Structure formats: C-alpha cells, structure tokens
Amino acid sequence: DTQSAIKRGEISDPFPLKPRTVFVFVLGGVTYAEIAACDLVEKLTGSKIVLASNTIDLVIEASLIKPLEHICGVSWLRAKGIEKIFKFEQTISPPIGKVFIYFISANLLIFKQILDQIHSFTSLATVDITRDDQVKYHIIVMPNLLYSQEELLEQEGLCGRVQLYPFNWDFISLDSGVLSLEVPDVFRDVFIRHDTTSLLSISQSIRLFRLVCGQQKVVFTYGSNSEKLAQMVRRIEGHKPSNHEDKSPDFSAAFIVDRSKDFASCLLTPVTYSGLLLEIHQAKSGSLIIDSKSSRIKSGKCNLFSEDTPADSKASSASLRMNSSMDAIFSDNKYRHFSDVISLLSSQAKALGLEGQFSRDMKIHEMKAYVSEKLPKVAAAKKELFKHLTLCETIVKDLGSDFEQLQDLQDNMIYGRNRRQTISQIEDILATDPHKFNTLRLMCLCHLTSNLSTEEATQFITNFCNVFGHRHLTAFHNLAHCGLFPEISPETTSLSARSKILSNISLPKKTQNSLFADAGRLKLLPELEASSSNPRDNPTC
C-alpha cells in the first residue's frame, strides 16, 4: 500500500527521519512478513531498520545434550532468551521466522546437514536476507572450528547468513575426583583415523586446568599422542606465561597416557558394581540410561532360534546420576565387588523392614514426630534401595549364567594359558550364544594377548559376519587401524603357515607382546602366585 501510494504521489515523504537508523524490537518473535515490510521501507526511504526479538531457538546435537546439562540447565537458557530447545535431526522442521542457534560437534557431515536445512528455510523467505544485522543462523562448533567447515560454508553460498563460533567447555565434573572433557569422537579421530586435530582443544583445556589448580612439578607421558599433547601444552604456556607461578599446586604430578597403551582394561569384564552397571546399561556423561524393557546385553544378542520381538512403545526409561554426592547407596558401593554389594543391600532392606515394625509400638506423640520427621526419609531411602536392588537383579539376570565362564576365559588369555582352547571357546560362543559387542571384545583381547595368526583372524571374521552380517566388515578394518585386530593383507596371508606353527607353541608368559610389556611397566597384572581362590582378592577387571 505504501509503495502504490508513493507512486500515485499521495505521499511525498512518509518518513521524515530518513538519515537515521530505526531500531525495532518485536516481543514474541519476528515473522518473515515483518522482515519483508522493513526491507521495503528501507528501499523506499533509504533508512536503516534493525530488527530484534526475544525469540531464539536452540538446536542441539544429541551427543551434546547430556554434557550441556552439567554446565547449564533449561531454566538458565530460558533466562538468556532461548524460547524452545530442539534435538537436531536431519528431518526436523522448526518454525520459520526466528533466530536459530545450532550447537554441534566438529563433525563435517552434521555441519553439511545443517547447511542443507538452512537452505530449505531460506528458500521459503520472500526477501534476500544477507545483511550483517539480520543474521538469523548461528552455529556453535565444539570444541574447535575446522577450516573445512568454513570452506564448506563458502561453497554453499551462506557466508553472511550464517555466523560460526568455536566453543570448548573444558573439564566437567562427573563425580568426586572424576573430571571429563566429554569431547565426542576423540578415540575415533586420534586412534583410528590418526587425526590429531582434537589434541589442540585438549591441550588448551589442560593449560586452563593448570592455571586453576597450579603447575604440576612433574608430568609423565606414556605414548606418542600423550607426548604430543604435553608438547602442545608447553608451547602454549611458553607463548602465554602464567601469572600464578608461585601458587602451590593442588596436584604434585600429572600422568598422561595413551588409551592404546592399556586396551585390556576396556576389554576385560569388570566385577565392581559401577563397572557392571556400565556393562548392562548405556551411560552418557555420568548418567546411566536405564531402559525397563531392554539392556546392552539384550540388544546385542543375536537370537538365532527365536523371532525378534517388536519394540514396546510403552517401554519407559529412567536416568541414574552416577554421582556420589547425589546417591549415598551408589557412593558406598560403586567400587565394591558385586557379590559384597548384594549382601549389603539385603541387610539394608532388612533394617528398613525392622524400622516399620518399631513404629507399631509407638505412642501417639511419638508416631506424630515419626511421621513428620523420619517417615519421609525412610520412604526416600526405600525408593533408592528398591532402585539399586532392581539394578542388581538385572545384572544377575543378564550376566549370571555365563559370568564365571567368561572370567575363566579372560584369565586364560591374560596369563597366556591354553591358547588353542581359548580360541575354540570363542568360536563356540560365537556359534551358540553370540553377542555383537562382547564377542568382538573377546576377539580383540585374544589378539592383544596371543597375536592371532592370519588364518585365525580370517576364521573369526568369517564366523562373525555369517552371524551378524557382512556389513560389519568395516568394523574389523577400523579395529586393525588402532591395533586391536590383525590386518588382513596379501603380505600377511603369505606368512600363514609360519604363524600356524608358532600358534601351537604354548608360551607361559609372552613377554615379547606389547600388552605384557606395557603391563609390566605399569604393574597392571598381579603375579600368578599372588592370586587366591577368593574372587574378592582378584583384580576388579
């Protein structure tokens, strides 16, 4: 209407404040129609209109949701102007006409999906929004902004519409004495792809940790990546000297070790309560995701002789924070042997049962004080105790039948006993009761302890793919890249006859193996004569 009126000459100068900038704040969100109207007014008058709103939507990558809860909650985000929070999905369609903030990891594929989504949003716009004051899409990349992402942004033609920001949240406290960076895909990038880009952000976080807690007097490194990390920290501190050199450090020494120097700790089955909880349920950033209808053991099983049961849409899931300050029962039992935990929880349940019997003999005034003061605490204690008893029941149900056999099998591998029998047992497990991930763990542990020959590795791969599908061939390729499985190649195949002869030789202790060499330096394995028949005296994994 304004444009047609000006053409007819009915309005000579609708905006007398032509050279000035007009700031417009719209409470509740800005629509594309309002943006188009402001763009038209700017073309007619030559003025500059800046649109602002309190409506901002946050779109988070799924793997970053749990770590972000340790830093800020939903109420804090809403206080900062965030109206809605979405989990990023490639098919998501948030409402149009708002400011979007994407929070993702340094994953180029996810970054490309976001740019495609932004393209779909901008194609619905009626005006070309390319000005700096109307940037509607902001992408925060954790922990570092990659050059490939900036190059892809330019190739997609979104420079000026999308603003990029790097962000690193440094160490997050998950439990008492447990700090974690929670950087996604570090193991895959460093040990499989041999891409050390993420070491830069880790070194910056370590430098900040040293600024806060003081400079450690002694720093030990074990592994090539750990040495690179220590060199990066020294280089950063050389360019940015600390102002707290006289501060007494909270830690006198630091030990940085490569994960590849102790793969066995991840492959062995634990016997502590907290370790077995992680065997059964999925954990994300110190929170245990408890599914009432499924577990990691059930989901990884291959039911050869039964039909797959459909997923229950009514299945509920709960979360347990594995934090000692939030759960007294977990704090008392997290590092105990599992057999001790069951007996302790049973005694606590009996004590709470006797508490109810004592309340029957109380007088009226005693009962009133008991109901108002002690009864809520008893009810909360019963609820927490019931939760942990249910978890123990799940552990016994899923692991109880094969747990002792699995412990004996792993003991034989660690101490270099009965090599041929060990390989035969793994093949029997794969044929009778296969589990997708636990069977892979046994194969990798067998290779670390006894150096699988090419024929043995090929037989393992064939049997595994026959059960779970040949789409998992790439998994063995990745395992070979990080040293957890032998690499199958024509050169190694030509040595199969020699390897077969060596595999029949029984070695009581393979000192030439890198696993045993590293375990000897770090004192990871107890001596054979030190182990007793009592399982509580044995190692915890």
Structure tokens at 325: 């300050």
Helix, coil or strand: residue 101: strand
Q: Say whether pLDDT at 52 is over 60.
A: no
Shared-domain flag, residues 147 and 191? no
Do residues 293 and 276 both lie within one domain? yes
Tell which wins on pLDDT, 491 or 63: 63
78 and 100 housed in the same domain: yes
Q: Could you tell me if 138 and 231 lie in one domain?
A: no
User: What pLDDT shows up at residue 126?
Assistant: 45
Res. 164 pLDDT band, cuts 50 70 90: very high
Mean pLDDT (whole number) for 529-535: 49
* d(C-alpha 412, C-alpha 524), whole Å: 16
Whether residue 408 is found in the same domain as residue 517 = yes
Percentage above 70 pLDDT, the chain: 71
With a cut of 50, say whether residue 110 has pLDDT above it. yes
Q: What is the pLDDT of residue 521?
A: 78
Mean pLDDT within 463-478? 91
Q: Is the pLDDT of residue 380 over 70?
A: yes
Position 541 scores a pLDDT of 53
* Boundary residue ending a domain (364, 382, 400): 400
35-39, 191-195, 518-522 — which is least confidently predicted? 35-39
Does residue 386 lie within any of the structural domains? yes
Residue 535 lies in a domain: no
Q: What pLDDT sits at residue 14?
A: 44
What is the average pLDDT across 319-340?
89
**123 and 44, same structural domain?**
no
**Structure confidence at residue 102 (pLDDT):** 92
CATH number for the domain spanning 432: value is: 1.25.40
Task: Tell me: pLDDT of 15 over 50.
Answer: no
How many domains, the chain?
5
pLDDT at site 92: 56
Position 510 scores a pLDDT of: 43
| Interacting residues of 526 by C-beta distance below 8 A, sequence separation 6+ | 538, 539
Position 53 scores a pLDDT of 55
How confident is the model at residue 141, as a pLDDT? 93
pLDDT in tens, 114-157: 999 888 776 655 444 444 445 678 999 998 888 999 999 999 98
Share of the chain above pLDDT 90, in %: 26
Residues sharing a CB contact under 8 Å with residue 497, sequence separation 6 or more, in sequence order? none
> Looking at the predicted structure, is the pLDDT value of residue 17 above 50?
no
User: Rounded mean pLDDT of the chain?
Assistant: 79
Whether residues 328 and 386 fall in one domain: yes
Higher pLDDT, residue 474 or 91: 474
310 vs 386, higher pLDDT: 386
34 is in which domain, residue-wise?
21-53
Average pLDDT of the residues in 306-325 = 66
CA distance 134 to 42: 13
| pLDDT for the residue numbered 534 | 56
When mean pLDDT is compared across 31-35, 125-129, 208-212, 325-329, the lowest value belongs to 125-129
> Of 319, 331, 250, 265, whose CA–CA distance to 291 is shortest?
319
Does residue 5 belong to any structural domain of this protein? no
Q: Is the pLDDT of residue 246 over 50?
A: yes
Query: pLDDT-derived band of residue 404, with 50, 70 and 90 as boundaries?
Result: confident
Parallel, antiparallel, or unpaired for β 287-291 and 317-321? antiparallel
Count of other CB atoms within 10 angstroms of residue 523: 7
Smallest CA-to-CA distance from 458 within 441, 476, 482 is with: 476
9 assigned to some structural domain: no
Q: What is the structure's pLDDT at 513? A: 73
Q: Are residues 63 and 40 in the same domain?
A: no
pLDDT digits (tens, 9 = 90+) for 441-456: 999 999 999 888 889 9
Max CA distance (Å), the chain: 104
In a domain, 539, yes or no: no
119, part of any domain: yes
Of the two residues 357 and 525, the one the predictor is more confident about is 525
Same domain membership, residue 486 and residue 375: no
- Within-domain flag for 12: no
Other C-beta atoms closer than 10 Å to the C-beta of 262 total 17
* Residue 143 preceded by cis peptide, ω within 30: yes
Residue 93 lies in a domain: yes
Confidence of residue 76 (pLDDT cuts 50, 70, 90): confident
Q: Are residues 149 and 73 in the same domain?
A: yes
Q: Which helix (H) or strand (E) holds 173?
A: strand 172-175
The reply to whether 44 and 72 lie within a common domain is no
Q: Comparing 14 with 376, which gets the higher pLDDT?
A: 376
Would you say 87 and 58 are in contact if contact means Cβ atoms under 8 Å apart? no
Instruction: Read off the amino acid at residue 44.
Output: L
Domain identity same for 430 and 493: yes
> Which of 367, 400, 433 finishes a domain?
400
Is a pLDDT exceeding 90 seen at residue 515?
no
- CB 321, CB 289: distance < 8 Å: no
pTM of the model: 0.76
DSSP 8-state secondary structure symbol assigned to residue 56: E
Whether 269 and 407 have beta carbons less than 8 Å apart is answered as yes
pLDDT score, position 192? 92
Phi and psi for 88 in degrees, rounded to 5? -70, 130
Torsion of Cα atoms, 333 then 281 then 195 then 519, to 10°: 40
pLDDT digits (tens, 9 = 90+) for 260-298: 988 988 899 999 999 999 999 888 888 888 887 778 888
